[in-house]
Amino acid sequence: MTSHNLPVEPNRFVGRARDLDELCGLLRDQRLVTLCGVGGIGKTRLALRVAAKVVPDFPDGVWLVELARITGADLVAHEIANTLGVREERSRPSLDGLLVRLRGARALLLLDNCEQVVERCAELVSELLAGCPDLRILLTTREALRIPGELVWRVPPLDLPDARHPDAEAVLLFTDRALAVGTRLSGGDFDDVARLCVALDGLPLALELAAARTRMLSPAQIADRIGDRFRLLTSGDRTAPARQRTLLATVEWSHDLLTPKERVLLRRLSVFAGHFDLDLVEQVCADDGDLPSHEILDLLGGLVDKSLLLADGGRYRLLETIKQFAAERLRDEDERTWFRDRHLQVICEVQERCFESGLATPRAPWPERLPYFVRGRALIDDCRAAVDWAVESDNAPLGLRLAYVASALLAVHGEIAEGVEWFERLLRLDLTGVPPEVVALSKGALAYGLEARDDLAGCERVVTEALKEQEKVPHSLGKGVTLNVAGVLLLRTGQFDRAERHFEEVVATTREWDDTFNRVIAHSCLAVLAGVRGQLRLAQRHAGEALAVAKENGHPWHVAMATSQLAAVAEWRGDTEAAVTHYRDAAAIFDELDNRVEMERCLVMVAKVAIGRGDHATAEGLLAECLELAQKTGQRLGMARVLRVLSRLADVEGDLAGAVLSSGAATALAEEMGEPTVSGRIEELLARARDKLGEGRTALQWSRGRELDPVEVARLVLAGEGGGNGRLPVPAVAEVPHPVLTAREQEIAGLLTRGLSNRAIADELVISPATVARHIANIMEKLGFTSRSQIALWAVEHDLGSA
């Protein structure tokens, strides 16, 4: 895990020494600093420089999140999560994972270009700061968030030259950038440079655009032409602020000096959402008239030379200010619809090739698949923009084709939510002209996403429609996915006989159609089903078949999933050595794929097996590693897994109090996620604890586990301190008589000794959770307590535990 993701600076940073010192100091005292200013004033470059200087102050990382390419407010949390490595967790919003990842972390988030999603940023930043006390946030935006605690820092222009300071910041920047394009200015040029800097009001982007022209024009000629441009711009009804007019004038002047073909290319490049390469530009922007494809490379080079386009290792991108200008020119030329359509068409075709060669083709070795996976993943921003356009332009046929292949590539990385949202939007369009097989396969893909998000009711409705509509569609990878989703739904709803027959049919169908992708999944599900029924030899056979087919298919994700299933079967059969080997093999593959969620799951299982073998040192080391992985990826289910196994470890090592503490924390996390929480092991553990530790201490440990931060609980138990009182004080219970509580309040206090949640208490008493919460608040106020664990211990001491 690196300490930051800041990019390498493209050229020398000039000036702003005082600004840097001030902002670095502010970030040590202020939790939210917002850099505001017009486009082109240097907000992003200044923020990046500040962030780089304070990296040592933030041991848990400094993370740049670029929001300029975000097409919707709902994607802000998703983009931050992706940057931090936080993975989706079923149907939970990305914010939940971010809170897990950043709670207790001393980190800095740099949110760049927030203005187009400023309202969502304001909401999200408020929630992050409230839930993560050690977090600092630095933003760049043209519009402040206007939330409590925000320190707005207006970015000034560069210092301008005068008689006493001829080498001001603006002059230094201009001369540095002129030198970068091969122009060495003479002493006689500096009066004109100073005049130009004043005319450009010290705006860094304007100065860089002007400096790029020094290969063809002298500073005097540039200054004269800029002056003419300003006179034109300020005549008539001009209401924009002065600096915005200055920048617009400079960009228009730079644009007017382009060749006709460079102007055409610049405006067409505005359809791209993020980075793009030569191949994409040739496919989207070229034509047989104005812009033949063989001229594209030289034209791109010309735009880079004139500072209108940034180049980085064969990839290009437009600055946001230039992109907005170019998009307006595209609209003015009445080309927007045509080229957005063209962009949608090309991105769809490229992603279909990536899907076919990277995923669908059977028996392809991973080195052949990998380039398509990398390319498909790199185009996610353009996929978002293309889907948005498909919805806006009512182009359901292309939109659904793109969503189908792009969502499949995302799903292999464990990212489900965005694909679900795409399909839900697109399937609401007019589907009259969409081929029936496209609609049918899209519904199957939507059902897959709904099942992964635990929306079983929605999944059943959609998959039923998909199966009916796919009856006449030839078999494909997508149809196989739909069939497997239907089987998983049967399995998860306890319809085991139907599930078995269904998966046996899927195995036969996929073998007939050489669909190794879905045959792996079907055999794995049959292994699970056999294991649930206690048919361990049959489970072993299906798991082995799944792994053999996965290796035949050639995709490492399948191999890893099948290997972990084989490990589970080995564990069921009591073959601990084989289980450890298989789990470690699967974890190594998941590590190579950067799938840290599945990697953590496998390593937790290794720890569990190690406990059974008496290898406590290995288990302890793995659980500490898995705790960090779960926190870094924002996975509460992962933390719950760690805590459950940690409870086993504490128990076998004789730390019964730590075992109860861990189980309480794991149960609370499971309840938050809507997971089952009742288990025979927990009931047996609590019974032994009550017998050995007493009712009061057991209730206290259980309640403390539910109230403390789960990461803190895990660290306490790993350090052998799980039996202490921690941060929660033990109240002087004997001094408070119970008649001060009403009968209902005494009843609820008694139920708290069992560690029940508000929802569980509400179910037992047939009242609402809100009513339970009000009663608990009243109890705390009457008894002078501050936590549920204090109430639980007090209730035990007053014999209310059986209430």
Per-residue HEC secondary structure of 104-133 comes to CCCCEEEEECCHHHHHHHHHHHHHHHHHCC
Q: Which residues pair with 34 in a beta bridge?
A: 139, 152
pLDDT of residue 274: 81
Handedness of CA 383, 385, 391, 395 (dihedral sign): negative
Distance of CA 34 to the CA centre of its chain: 22
Which pairing describes strands 136-141 and 62-66: parallel, antiparallel, or unpaired?
Answer: unpaired
pLDDT of residue 12: 87
What is the pLDDT confidence band of residue 150, given thresholds at 50, 70 and 90?
A: very high
Q: Choose from 226-230, 294-298, 594-598 the range with maximum mean pLDDT.
A: 294-298
Asked if 483 contacts 509 with a C-beta cutoff of 8 angstroms, the reply is yes
- Tokens 């800041």: give the residue: 6
Has residue 733 got a pLDDT over 50?
A: no
Mean pLDDT (whole number) for 409-414: 78
Least confident of 58-72, 481-495, 534-548: 58-72
Has residue 734 got a pLDDT over 50?
A: no
pLDDT of residue 649: 94
What is the pLDDT confidence band of residue 227, given thresholds at 50, 70 and 90?
A: low
pLDDT of residue 423: 95
139 Cβ partners below 8 Å, 6+ apart?
32, 33, 34, 35, 47, 110, 111, 112, 114, 121, 125, 145
Higher pLDDT, 570 or 683: 570
Has residue 236 got a pLDDT over 80?
A: no
Q: Which residues pair with 154 in a beta bridge?
A: 36
Has residue 19 got a pLDDT over 70?
A: yes
Q: Would you give the DSSP letter of residue 158?
A: P
The CA-based diameter of the chain, rounded to the nearest angstrom, is 94
DSSP letters along 531-576, please? HHTT-HHHHHHHHHHHHHHHHHH--HHHHHHHHHHHHHHHHHTT-H
Tally of CA atoms within 13 A in the half-sphere of 232 that contains its CB: 11
Residue 776: CB atoms within 10 A of its CB come to 19
Has residue 35 got a pLDDT over 80?
A: yes
Closest CA to 528 of 549, 503, 559: 503
Separation of alpha carbons 708 and 377, rounded Å: 38
Has residue 503 got a pLDDT over 80?
A: yes
pLDDT, tens digit, for every residue of 538-554?
A: 999 999 999 999 999 88
What is the pLDDT confidence band of residue 726, given thresholds at 50, 70 and 90?
A: very low
Q: And the tokens for 334?
A: 């009445």
Separation of alpha carbons 90 and 414, rounded Å: 10
Asked if 90 contacts 453 with a C-beta cutoff of 8 angstroms, the reply is yes
Least confident of 327-341, 499-513, 649-663, 730-744: 730-744
Has residue 164 got a pLDDT over 80?
A: no
**By percentage, how much of the chain surpasses pLDDT 70?**
93
Mean pLDDT (whole number) for 267-289: 92
Please give the sequence-ordered ranges of beta strands (E in DSSP) within 129-190, or none if there are none: 136-141, 150-154
Has residue 730 got a pLDDT over 70?
A: no
Report the chain's mean pLDDT, rounded to a whole number: 86
CA-to-CA separations, 93 to 77, 136, 403, 482, 706, in angstroms, rounded: 8, 22, 21, 25, 22
pLDDT, tens digit, for every residue of 81-108?
A: 888 888 877 666 688 889 989 988 999 9
Asked if 509 contacts 501 with a C-beta cutoff of 8 angstroms, the reply is no
At residue 35, the 3 state secondary structure works out as strand
Closest CA to 206 of 185, 225, 188: 225
At residue 36, the 3 state secondary structure works out as strand
Has residue 728 got a pLDDT over 70?
A: no
pLDDT of residue 232: 44
pLDDT of residue 803: 41
Has residue 404 got a pLDDT over 60?
A: yes
What is the pLDDT confidence band of residue 394, given thresholds at 50, 70 and 90?
A: very high
pLDDT of residue 800: 75
DSSP letters along 609-626, please? HHHHTT-HHHHHHHHHHH
pLDDT of residue 46: 94
pLDDT of residue 243: 57
Mean pLDDT (whole number) for 726-735: 45
Q: And the tokens for 513?
A: 């159609």
What is the pLDDT confidence band of residue 770, given thresholds at 50, 70 and 90?
A: confident
Has residue 159 got a pLDDT over 50?
A: yes
215 Cβ partners below 8 Å, 6+ apart?
181, 182, 183, 305
Least confident of 5-14, 70-79, 428-437, 541-550: 70-79
pLDDT, tens digit, for every residue of 64-86?
A: 999 987 877 778 888 898 888 88
Mean pLDDT (whole number) for 232-248: 52
Q: Would you give the DSSP letter of residue 12?
A: -
Separation of alpha carbons 795 and 780, rounded Å: 12
Mean pLDDT (whole number) for 125-145: 92
- For the entire predicted model, the pTM comes to 0.79
Separation of alpha carbons 441 and 594, rounded Å: 28
